[in-house]
Structure 1
Amino acid sequence: MTSPEAREEAVLEAVRHRREQVNEAIPEELPIQRPERLYEASRYLLDAGGKRLRPAVLLTTAEALGDVDPLSTEYRSFPSLHEEDPVDVMAAAVSVEVIQSFTLIHDDIMDDDDLRRGVPAVHEAYDLETAILAGDTLYSKAFEIMLETEAQSDRIVEAFDVLATTCTKICEGQSLDVTFEERADVSPEEYLEMIEQKTAVLYAASACLPAILLGADDDTIDALYGYGLDIGRAFQIQDDVLDLTVPSEQLGKQRGSDLVENKQTLITVHARRQGVDVNTLVDTDDVDAVTESEIDDAVAELEAAGSIAYSNETARDLVEQGKDRLEVLPDNEARDLLCQIADYLIERGY
């Protein structure tokens, strides 16, 4: 039986293959032009790296739909499902990653975070005004880049609708997240709704956009959208768990920072329902002042309440539900990889 470590390495290798091609396409779709400072800031986080999980999901879904060999795939000229002109699915993949970068820039401004992907955040590397403009530029550029897919016009309109709705929902989810910090009565259902909007909808868009652009039927599009929602929610829940369980050095930030800053997670929502006074688990609201010992004690209390196990089980159930939705795809290597990516999202370290 394959170990979780071996499965993770296999997924990372498959994602790496697609990430390299996305990295090559980003400068083509988003070149540095005048005014140079604006476009350098816009490209800053994209050039800083990232796993490119969302574009990898998009490209892999296209491979599964087309039943093609991923190692010989030319994403710039991908066959339509109806013998029409080919579609540039790589442009769609870049568009999704550009949206992801736009949200990160604005998140860092809102949270006043200094670092992202191991480098200073855009508003620190440049300035606040330039960072806001860079995020806005990426938002609009995502739609321009989607046009480069050269899909049938009605499908591009549908893709635009998905992309615009996704951006709106991300903002709605972020707003809910901020509001939840002032509440102690958030239900698990409300939390799952919030992370669906804030995090999962971009995975959902990534999974269904190739189906739209390549001309799949509505049932397939809907199933793939559901797959993305399920694994996207599981991804965020796993992030909640990792924030408490992974050493600070590996996280690249203080372990337990979500708890210190009173951010709602599925773990704390569940713990409150078990009678845990979450607000007293640590004695400070200053991330720089909290000690590892305090976080250890908090984690022990959350484990005793069953809250971490509850979160792990919820994420696992969501992944299994998402994988079941992939039955609409041909039985091929790419579909298997989509299942493995789903598993990876809840088995990963960090």
Structure 2
Amino acid sequence: MTSPEAREEAVLEAVRQRRELVNDAIPEELPIQRPERLYEASRYLLDAGGKRLRPTVLLTTAEALTDIDPLSVEYRSFAPLDESGPVDMMAAAVSVEVIQSFTLIHDDIMDDDDLRRGVPAVHKEYDLETAILAGDTLYSKAFEIMLETGAEPDRIVDALSVLATTCTDICEGQSLDVTFEERADVSPDEYLEMVEQKTAVLYAASACLPAILLGADDETIDELYGYGLDIGRAFQIQDDVLDLTVPSEELGKQRGSDLVENKQTLITVHAREQGVDIDGLVDTDDVDAVTEAEIDEAVAELEAAGSIAYANQTAQELVEQGKERLEVLPDNEARELLCEIAHYLIERGY
């Protein structure tokens, strides 16, 4: 059985290889043009870095579907499952990363966050108006880029439909997240529905889009979409755990900030059901005023209630469920990598 350390090393190397290719493709698909300030702002977060996990899932799924030798992959000219013409899978990968960047810009505006990926947020580096326009530009450009994949017209229509529905779901999930901050009766099922829309659907799109563009059958498309939903929900649960358990200097923000800001997580939802007074765990709603000692005490109480263990167990179950869905794929190296990615998402540090 692969150790978590070996798994992380393998996944990070696979991600690194694909990230470099995606990074090279981004300026090709999204060049700086007039008006320059708008496109510089649109590219700002994309150029700042990022793991490119979603494009990695997309590219790896395409490899798994076609049982292709990883050493001979031509992402710009990917052979489909039938006799139709080649598909530009790298354009599809950039499209989903562009969607991810658009959501980050708007999230930072809503939360008035100062930093993202170690650099000032777009609305801080430029201005609010430019940041809004940059996010909107990325949203529309994602669809333009998907149109350039060269897949069969009916498959492109289906891919665009998935992208559109994904963007709607993300907005609905974000709205639920905001609404939940004012509620004390959110259930675990409601929380999982929220993170499915806010976070998991983009992983789901990333996993199923290659199947759509390459001409896979409906069962394969559905199972890959389900795989993405499962690992995407697990990814968000792990983020909730890391917010409480990773030191502030590693997080790059105050540990426990979700708790201070009254954000609903699977941990707090479960703890409240166990009778924990979530509102009384910390004495301030000011992230800058909370102390490490207060967070330590809060975490201890959440651990005593079994809530952190519950979150970890739920994430693990989602990963196992997602891996089972991959049985629709050929048994090859790429499928194994998709399994390793699923584990990495709940075993990673920040």
- The two structures have a TM-score, normalised by structure 1, of 0.99
Q: Deviations over 1:7-47 (max 9, x none)?
A: 10110001111111000000000000000000000000000
Gaps of 5+ in 2: none
Equivalent in the alignment of 2:55: 55
Partner of 1:81: 81
Aligned partners of 2:266 and 2:189: how far apart in 1?
9
Q: Deviations over 1:105-159 (max 9, x none)?
A: 0000000100000000000000000000000000000000001101000000000
Secondary structure of 1:82's counterpart equals coil
Shift of 1:6: 1.8
Q: Which residue of 1 aligns with 2:36?
A: 36
Could you tell me how far 1:83 is from its partner in structure 2?
2.0
Counterpart of 2:212 in structure 1 is 212
Instruction: For 1:102-113, list aligned pairs within 5 A.
Output: 102-113=102-113
Residue deviations 1:212-233 (CA, integer Å, cap 9, x gap): 0000000000000000000000
The correspondence of residues 259-298 of structure 1 with structure 2, limited to 5 A, is 259-298=259-298
CA distance in 1, matches of 2:111, 2:311: 24
Is residue 2:167 matched to residue 1:176? Answer: no
| Paired residue type of 2:295 | I
| Residue 69, structure 1, aligned to residue 69, structure 2 | yes
Local SS of the residue matching 2:303 = helix
Kindly report the root-mean-square deviation, in angstroms, between the aligned alpha carbons of the 2 structures.
Answer: 0.5
Q: What is the alpha-carbon distance in structure 1 between the residues aligned to residue 319 and residue 3 of structure 2? A: 18
The residue type paired with residue 24 of structure 2 is: E
Deviation of 1:51 after TM superposition, in Å, equals 0.3
Corresponding position of 2:4? 4
Among all aligned residue pairs of Structure 1 and Structure 2, give the percentage whose two residues are the same amino acid: 88
1:192-203 alignment, distance < 5 Å: 192-203=192-203
Deviations 1:216-262 (A, max 9, x none): 00000000000000000000000000000001111111100000000
Q: Report whether the alignment pairs 1:190 with 2:164.
A: no
Q: CA deviation at 1:72?
A: 2.0
Deviations 1:43-74 (A, max 9, x none): 00000000000000000000000101223211
Distance 2:3 2:170 in 1: 35
Partner of 1:314 in structure 2? Answer: 314
Query: What is the DSSP-based 3-state SS (H/G/I as helix, E as strand, rest coil) of the residue aligned with 1:196?
Result: helix
- The CA distance in 1 between the partners of 2:57 and 2:50, in whole Å, is 14
Q: Could you tell me which residue of structure 2 aligns to residue 167 of structure 1?
A: 167
**AA paired with 1:301?**
E
Return the alpha-carbon distance in structure 1 between the equivalents of residues 7 and 162 of structure 2.
32
Q: Matched residue of 2:64: which SS?
A: helix
Distance 1:2 1:144 in 2: 41
Unpaired runs of 5+ residues, structure 1, are: none
Q: Distance in 2 between matches of 1:294 and 1:10?
A: 37
Could you tell me which residue of structure 2 aligns to residue 299 of structure 1? Answer: 299
Shift of 1:209: 0.2
Equivalence for 1:13: 13
- State the AA in 2 paired with 1:247: P
Question: Counterparts of 1:249 and 1:100 in 2: how far apart (Å)?
Answer: 25
- In structure 2, what is the Cα distance between the partners aligned to 1:23 and 1:7? 24
C-alpha distance in 1, partners of 2:250/2:44?
23
- 1:3 Cα deviation after fit: 2.5
For 1:138-157, what aligned pairs fall within 5 Å after superposition?
138-157=138-157
Residue 315 (structure 1) shift: 0.3
Q: Give the AA of the match of 2:335.
A: R
Partner in structure 1 of residue 117 of structure 2: 117
Residue 242 of structure 2 corresponds to residue 242 of structure 1: yes
Runs of at least 4 residues off by over 6 Å: none
**Alignment partner, residue 135 of structure 1:** 135
Q: Which digits, 9 at most, give the CA deviation of each residue in 1:195-217, with x for residues without a partner?
A: 00000000000000000000000
TM-score by length of 2: 0.99
Cα deviation, residue 102, structure 1 = 0.1
Amino acid of the residue matched to residue 268 of structure 2?
A: T
SS of equivalent to 1:283: coil
